[in-house]
Amino acid sequence: MATKPETGESIRRERRFSLKEIKGKAFEGILVAATLVGIAALLVLFGYMFFDAVRPLTASAEWYLLFFATLVAPTSAFALYSRRHPAVRRMNARAFAAVFGGLAISLAAWVVFSATGPHGLLLYVLLASISPLAVAGYGKYVERSMFVGPAMVVVTLVVLLWTLGSEVLVFALFDLVGLLFGWIPVLGSLRPPVAPSILVTAVSTGGPTLAVLLYLLRRDSSRRSFAFVPVVAALSGLGTAGFDFWLQPTVDLLPDWVAYLGLVCLPVAAVVAVVVARRAAVRQGLTAGGAVIAGNLAVGVIALALSVDPSFWVVLFSGAVVPVGYVVGDAVVANRKGRVGLLGPFVLIGGVLFGALLEDVINATGPDTWITPTLLLSTWNGIEPTQAGAYAEIVGSIMIVSVMALMSFPVGVGAAIYLEEYAPETGPAGRFANFIEINIANLAGVPSVVYGILGLALFNNFLDFPPGIVISAGATLGLLILPIVIVSAQEAIRSVPDSLRRGSYGMGASRWQTLRNVVLPEAVPGILTGTILALGRAIGETAPLIVIAVPVRTSTPSGLFDSGAAVPLRIFASAANAIPAYRKGVLAALAVVLLALMLTMNAVAIVLRNRYQTDGN
């Protein structure tokens, strides 16, 4: 039972404003002030830039009224309505993700494909998909699933390595031997004994074949599964030698839009078919996939009939219309609640279109903005600010970011998985792993220009790549964000509760099964968020690009081995332009474009994360 405290201290306040209280309040006030100053500084900065880029004051009052009526009012009304109904809100979010995610991805795909030309990429896709699909099909046929996964990965890597210039790597290997052991006379003068193409073919055919053979031998596999060995040999041999001769000329004959069909429509149709088949039945899956292909063909035929090049419309159809169709179809077939929510993005888009239509009718003048179709779609002009465009730079940035993601994601996540799940914790090996971990965390803070020097040394000097090509730019920036990717992926993997791992092991799952079925699905949202935020940071990096001599150019890069281009480089190069309009308007507009690219990527990250999280719970 409570007794009176014997010290007799009163629980009442001594005075209204005691010193103690004033000190507390003052501290709180300082913290509030710090927060406000930070936010205000950022707001002023971005506001100023936005003001310069868009020039909102040049628009007339009618224009604002018009767009308030057609855009702001209906959208806010819809937003308010959907806030009240959770089902509508969820549906709305799905529709937004489908429409704008699809648009963003298909536009990005389109600009990259049209810069590089679809034929070469189609060849890559064929090379990289036919062999693993054949392996998977064969695995299903002999009903052995254990080695299908590894075999698929191996053949894909082999084919891609070949097409991405493994000759360079083979030479680099010999160069490395020469560099390290140059003081030993024989080793220092070692050169490839045969033509590199033969060597690469031998390595890339023999490697996977031997690997599969050893794997089967070690596992005492059934006699039947040894038929796999010639299949893998044939596929990797074909992939490395045959396709170059047979497929390339055939693929080049295809009209552009047919190449786009193969490049975009077929994979999208396959994904839709698999997703639908998994949720309903195989027949429905095939129907859905067929519908996607039929729709694409219809778009192509209509465009041809109107004598328009169908390429863009084919890409847009597969990338944007199909996901929207999937979301709508899913909502209708499954008879989900809140289907009104599907209208959300269309209220927004309709508002913009309707406003633009009425703009001329009521003669309202919009803002004299610097963010114009010219800026987004034409090439740079250093003399006439209104004619300046940064299409090549935008395409270059998208290509660099794609390379960066492809390089840093697998390596970073792989390293994180190793460090978290496999690395020993005790003994000398454990101490070494710990040492590496600490150093990775330190690398995250190394200045970007240092990574530029690293890229310069590795790609330009050692590997002898042409200066400033897309792949070395992407790889350099990939190295820059690698520590961030590793650390954030580690955090995500660490946050998966141990009890789940133990549960999985207790069921007789192997380490790999536990990782794939339990740990990774839980960690994916965190991994994706960390990676994409890192990508967003790197898209604006300038210093490393300057160091590896990425040029400031006006034509789009035509491939991974062409010299790159990047929005931040253009901003940097034009900051010294003598004409004030550049510094006052065009550069601000370019900065807004850069931010928009970054925000789009972050939005994709958020959508992906939410998707996985709702799936998980």
Contacts with another protein by CB under 8 A lie at 145-146, 424-426, 430, 497, 499-500, 502-510, 513, 517-518, 521-522, 616-617
Q: Residue 535, Cβ neighbours under 10 Å: how many?
A: 25
The least distance separating another protein from the CB of residue 520, rounded to whole angstroms, comes to 12
CA angle 156, 160, 162 (to 5 degrees): 120
Q: What tokens were used for 191?
A: 């050169």
The least distance separating another protein from the CB of residue 218, rounded to whole angstroms, comes to 14
Which position has the token pair 């039947």?
224
Closest by Cα among 171, 169, 229 to 205: 229
Total residue count of the chain as it appears in this document: 617
Q: What tokens were used for 395?
A: 């395409």
The least distance separating another protein from the CB of residue 612, rounded to whole angstroms, comes to 11
Nearer to another protein, 25 or 502 (CB): 502
Nearer to another protein, 10 or 426 (CB): 426
Nearer to another protein, 445 or 508 (CB): 508
The DSSP call for residue 339 is: G
The least distance separating another protein from the CB of residue 526, rounded to whole angstroms, comes to 14
Nearer to another protein, 13 or 502 (CB): 502
Burial class (CB in 10 A: 0-12, 13-18, 19+), 27: exposed
Q: 143: phi > 0 → left, psi -120 to 50 → alpha, else beta; which?
A: left
The least distance separating another protein from the CB of residue 517, rounded to whole angstroms, comes to 7
The least distance separating another protein from the CB of residue 513, rounded to whole angstroms, comes to 5
Nearer to another protein, 335 or 617 (CB): 617
Q: At what angle do helices 520-538 and 587-616 cross, to 10 degrees?
A: 180
Nearer to another protein, 25 or 511 (CB): 511
Which H or E run includes 336? none
The least distance separating another protein from the CB of residue 616, rounded to whole angstroms, comes to 5
Rounded-to-integer distance, Cα 101 and Cα 611, Å: 13
Nearer to another protein, 18 or 145 (CB): 145
The DSSP call for residue 460 is: I
The least distance separating another protein from the CB of residue 84, rounded to whole angstroms, comes to 24
Write the DSSP string, 383-427. Answer: S-GGG---HHHHHHHHHHHHHHHHHHHHHHHHHHHIIIIIS--SH
What are the angstrom distances between the C-alpha of 222 and each of 143, 144, 215, 218? 11, 9, 12, 11
The least distance separating another protein from the CB of residue 208, rounded to whole angstroms, comes to 24
Which H or E run includes 194? none
Q: At what angle do helices 391-417 and 567-574 cross, to 10 degrees?
A: 130
Nearer to another protein, 501 or 553 (CB): 501
The least distance separating another protein from the CB of residue 242, rounded to whole angstroms, comes to 35
Whether the CA torsion 243, 245, 249, 250 is positive or negative: it is negative
The least distance separating another protein from the CB of residue 518, rounded to whole angstroms, comes to 6
Rounded-to-integer distance, Cα 474 and Cα 562, Å: 12
What is the SS3 assignment for 140?
helix
Write the DSSP string, 224-257. Answer: GGGGHHHHHHHHHHIIIIIHHHHHHHHHHHS-HH
The least distance separating another protein from the CB of residue 501, rounded to whole angstroms, comes to 8
Nearer to another protein, 151 or 518 (CB): 518
Nearer to another protein, 523 or 586 (CB): 523
Three-state SS letters, 21-89: HHHHHHHHHHHHHHHHHHHHHHHHHHHHHHHHHHCHHHCCHHHHHHHHHHHHHHHHHHHHHHHHCHHHH
